């Protein structure tokens, strides 16, 4: 077999490897106002949902029927875009100059709810504010709707919908009565992680080592009713991006490493190339 043909076979093998490998991770950025917005009215409150590629974002604050305690249910509120600094949650009457235009826990707990087009295992988050020189604290609480621990009579017995947030609160022990208010973790929401001191402009792990997967994720500053070891400081952050993967794929709980072929794939390709070269030698 001539050298030119050998090189062609090797090059073909390399091309097959490169085209057959894809990273399991996807980054979702919130550094624009979104591809579009949708006006939603839930529980008598109207606010904007921001729609990005593959994910929609709504804002929620524990201000329904009460404020500041564990049993306060969540009201829909506006998600505000701050360009390259990310998105925040700004309730009516909140100042835009003291950090409360971000996702924060001053007075009440706030979350952004990420609704993905298909289930995803979130692994990291990134904030764009406060700046690295700002002394504000940046502890977060992350939950996913997995159905785990769903108590009989909860509003999410048949799956989660946005309207259910009006009957959910932060009390880890609240189980109704049926048709009444339930704690998030008693209604199918699972606490995934409480990352502390999240850095600015760098991805930080949320602690999802088990690659729990869901179409619905709550990302908020430290919720003292759900987190352990709260330091007592107010927390702030504008969400720039999240990183996630499809559970069960290489590097996402499915073995292997994203972007690296499995050894079995390499072995099969190598055997195929050797066989092809031997056949050409015989013909030559």
Q: What are 108-120's pLDDT values in tens digits?
A: 999 999 999 999 9
Tell me: pLDDT of 64 over 90.
Answer: yes
Q: Is 132 exposed, middle or buried (0-12, 13-18, 19+ CB in 10 A)?
A: exposed
| 3-state DSSP assignment of residue 216 | strand
Residue 13 sits at φ, ψ, to 5 deg, of -60, -45
Tens-digit pLDDT profile for residues 210-249: 999 999 999 999 999 998 776 778 999 999 999 999 988 8
pLDDT score of 178? 84
Report the distance separating Cα 200 and Cα 238, nearest Å.
Answer: 9
Question: Is a pLDDT exceeding 50 seen at residue 127?
Answer: yes
From residue 3, how far is each of 8, 21, 51, 276, 277 by CA, in Å?
Answer: 9, 28, 55, 14, 11
Residues 109 and 29: their CA atoms lie apart, in Å, by 23
Give the residue from 28, 31, 27, 29 showing the smallest Cα distance to 86: 31
Q: Could you tell me if residue 86 is left (phi over 0), alpha (psi between -120 and 50 degrees) or otherwise beta?
A: left
Q: What is the DSSP letter of 248?
A: T
Q: pLDDT value at position 21?
A: 43
The predicted model gives 260-268 an average pLDDT of 46
Mean pLDDT of the chain: 85
pTM over 0.85: no
pLDDT at 66 over 50: yes
* Rounded distance between C-alpha atoms, residue 81 and residue 238, angstroms: 9
């Amino acid at each position: 077999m001539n050298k030119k043909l050998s090189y062609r076979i090797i090059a073909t093998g390399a091309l097959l490897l490169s085209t057959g490998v894809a990273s399991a991770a996807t980054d979702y950025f919130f550094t624009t106002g979104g591809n579009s917005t949708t006006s939603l009215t839930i529980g008598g409150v109207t606010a904007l949902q921001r729609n990005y590629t593959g994910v929609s974002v709504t804002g929620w604050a524990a201000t329904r029927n009460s404020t500041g305690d564990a049993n306060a249910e969540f009201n829909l509120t506006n998600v505000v875009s701050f360009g390259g600094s990310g998105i925040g949650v700004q309730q009516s009457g909140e100042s835009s100059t003291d950090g409360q235009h971000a996702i924060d826990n001053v007075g009440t707990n706030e979350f952004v709810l990420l609704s993905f087009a298909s289930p995803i295992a979130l692994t990291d988050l990134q904030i764009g504010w406060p700046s690295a020189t700002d002394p504000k604290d940046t502890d977060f609480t992350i939950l996913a709707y997995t159905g785990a621990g769903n108590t009989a009579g909860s509003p999410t017995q048949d799956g989660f919908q946005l309207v259910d947030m009006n009957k959910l609160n932060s009390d880890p022990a609240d189980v109704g009565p049926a048709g009444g208010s339930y704690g998030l973790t008693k209604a199918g929401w699972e606490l995934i992680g409480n990352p502390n001191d999240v850095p600015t402009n760098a991805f930080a792990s949320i602690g999802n080592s088990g690659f729990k997967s869901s179409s619905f994720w709550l990302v908020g500053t430290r919720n003292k009713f759900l987190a352990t070891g709260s330091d007592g400081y107010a927390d702030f952050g504008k969400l720039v991006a999240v990183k996630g993967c499809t559970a069960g794929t290489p590097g996402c709980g499915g073995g292997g490493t994203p972007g690296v072929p499995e050894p079995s794939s390499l072995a099969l390709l190598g055997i195929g190339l050797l066989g092809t070269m031997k056949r050409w030698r015989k013909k030559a």
